[in-house]
Structures are given as structure tokens and as C-alpha cells.
């Protein structure tokens, strides 16, 4: 499995913890995030992750900013991307099961690092259920 991750200045510690967990599982990580707390613009990092997901260069994406909203809005501008803002593990599971989300967006200022790692683990280990959900997912992208 190959994952792209991107974050702004609110998420370096979150990114580092998630990357450590992923690499311990043998997952390849493309790191587009900042490593400092100096102010940066979240779309710059979100678009890099979304490009990789949309092109198929990676299997999934992870994005992190303060509220999770801005970077999630940015990734969802890309065709073939279904970004989901998640704040608890159960939402991450449903985002995969029902929405076939391929990018998880994490609000660093409203979740703990442990919660974020747990959400990513749940997100990546959950399969899309298909069935009635596939019909709905097919209607998400603008035609």
C-alpha cells in the first residue's frame, strides 16, 4: 500500500505519529507536509496529496489542518477524490464503508494524536461495502 500525507502548520506532530505507524506496518508514505509550526497555506499541501490520489499514484491520502475543513475542501476540488472530514474512529469507518472515501481529513486542533492514529488505522483497514452505497457514490462527482 502507498499513502500520500500532507499537513499545514497545525499538524506536524500528527503527521509524524501517523507516518511512524504507517511505516511500522510496511506502508510506503509520500510526505508532502510541513515539518514546522511556521504558518503555511493548507491548499498547497492538500492539492499535492489529491493529485496523487486522483492519478492513482497512491492508494489513499491523509490530510491534516487545524479544523480539517479547509484542507478537505481543497482536496475535494479534484475529480476522483472523495475526502472525508473525520473526528472519531466511527466516522472514519463509515466514510470508507458507505462513501468509498479515499482521503481522510483530520482536524488537529480538535482531536488528539492518539485519536488521529486510531482513525487512520480504521480508515485504511475498512473496505467499501458497495451495493446500495455504490449507486450513491457514483452520483457524487459532477458530470
Catalytic pick among 47, 78, 86, 98: 98
- Catalytic (active site) residue 65: yes
Helix (H, G, I), strand (E, B) or coil at 53: helix
Catalytic pick among 65, 78, 133, 142: 65
- Catalytic (active site) residue 86: no
Residue that is written with C-alpha cell 490530510 in the block: 63
Helices (H), the chain: 12-24, 42-55, 69-75, 89-99, 113-125, 132-138
Residue that is written with C-alpha cell 499513502 in the block: 3
**What is the rounded distance in angstroms from the CA atom of residue 87 to the CA atom of residue 73?**
16
Helix (H, G, I), strand (E, B) or coil at 118: helix
**What is the rounded distance in angstroms from the CA atom of residue 61 to the CA atom of residue 43?**
14
Point out the residues that are catalytic.
Answer: 65, 98
Amino acid at each position: 500500500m502507498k499513502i500520500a500525507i500532507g499537513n499545514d502548520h497545525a499538524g506536524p506532530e500528527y503527521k509524524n505519529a501517523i507516518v511512524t505507524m504507517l511505516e511500522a506496518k510496511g506502508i510506503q508514505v509520500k510526505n508532502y507536509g510541513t515539518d514546522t509550526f511556521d504558518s503555511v497555506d493548507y491548499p498547497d499541501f492538500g492539492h499535492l496529496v489529491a493529485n496523487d490520489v486522483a492519478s492513482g499514484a497512491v492508494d489513499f491520502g491523509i490530510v491534516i489542518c487545524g479544523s480539517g475543513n479547509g484542507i478537505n475542501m481543497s482536496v475535494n476540488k479534484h475529480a476522483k477524490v472523495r475526502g472525508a472530514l473525520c473526528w472519531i474512529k466511527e466516522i472514519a469507518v463509515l466514510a470508507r464503508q458507505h462513501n468509498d472515501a479515499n482521503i481522510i481529513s483530520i482536524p488537529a486542533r480538535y482531536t488528539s494524536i492518539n485519536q488521529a492514529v486510531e482513525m487512520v488505522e480504521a480508515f485504511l483497514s475498512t473496505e467499501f461495502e458497495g451495493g446500495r452505497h455504490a449507486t450513491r457514490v457514483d452520483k457524487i462527482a459532477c458530470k
